[in-house]
Chain A
Amino acid sequence: MHNSQTTAGIGVERTDFVGIPTRDRERTVKFYGETLGIVPNRRTHENFPEFETGNVTLAVFHPEEMGMEFKPNANPIALRVRDVEQARKKLEAAGVEFHGETYDSGVCHMAFFSDPDGNALMLHRRYAPYSDGSTP
């Protein structure tokens, strides 16, 4: 986290979770917990599984069970891994299809894929230091 400007606004303390819509909870739990290896939160309600990435929670919900339309999230959540190519190979071996080649932005590597419901995800690693010399 790097910032200097602050205003009062509404006083956001942190991001508690990011919603992950699904049409098949069991499949989603398997994907995030086993394929991606993200730690499940054991204390959640069974209809609302959560996964702890280290800094922010991914909260799975089933919109159609709640009377809402299912719409996959097309906006990637960037998952930091040590080595994007290595992680990509592991996921590909597990049957995950990536969208295109791994992208080198000049400061980071990005590899785009989706979860089984079509929610966008990205393997991400910034390899270049920030302008002040600090690193992620």
Chain B
Amino acid sequence: MNVEQVDFVSVPTRDAARAVAWYLDVLGLPVSDYTEAEVETPNVTLSFWVPEEDNIPFAPNESGIALRVADVHEAVEEVKAAGAEVVGIEDTGVCHMGFVKDPDGNVLILHKRYAPRVPR
């Protein structure tokens, strides 16, 4: 089988309208033209779903979705000013990672790799 691409990444929420508004207002991600509960990053769609509507217990995604920004520290300050929970900022030696949570507690990583990739 051939995986052509990732069509969307599911993001759990307890309030899809709140989620869409937050991703638009705070992150600046546009709402899909076609689907109410989706927002678009330039390369992949984030699709909100409400597990409790399907009788599945809600649990936030803590595995992280990494969003590239020009300046991690600035971006973290901006989402903090908008009321988001900031977990912390890490410098891995090759990138900055700003761990923040959306209103449902899903972990987002504001990410910028500053080191070039080198072959192993």
Taking Cβ atoms with an 8 Å cutoff, the residues of B that contact A are 1-12, 24-34, 39-47, 49, 51, 56, 59, 61-70, 74-75, 78-79, 109-111, 113, 117-120
Contacts and interface: CB of A to CB of B under 8 A. Distances in A.
Contacts of B44: 15, 55-56
Interface of A: 1-21, 36-38, 42-44, 46, 53-56, 58-59, 61, 71, 73-82, 86-87, 90-91, 119-120, 124, 126, 130-132, 136
B75 A10 contact: yes
Contacts of B113: 16
Contacts of B65: 15, 17-19
A12 B64 contact: no
Contacts of B28: 6-12
A9 B2 contact: no
A68 to B, nearest CB: 8
A20 to B, nearest CB: 7
Contacts of A11: 28, 69-70, 75
Q: Is the interface of A mostly helix, strand, loop or mixed?
A: loop
Contacts of B3: 36-38, 53-54, 79-81
Rank and list the top 7 A-B pairs by shortest CB-CB distance, nearest first.
Answer: A9-B28, A3-B30, A19-B63, A19-B64, A75-B10, A87-B1, A54-B5
15 contacts: A2-B32, A2-B33, A3-B32, A5-B31, A13-B42, A13-B70, A15-B43, A18-B9, A19-B65, A55-B6, A71-B59, A74-B56, A78-B9, A86-B1, A124-B7
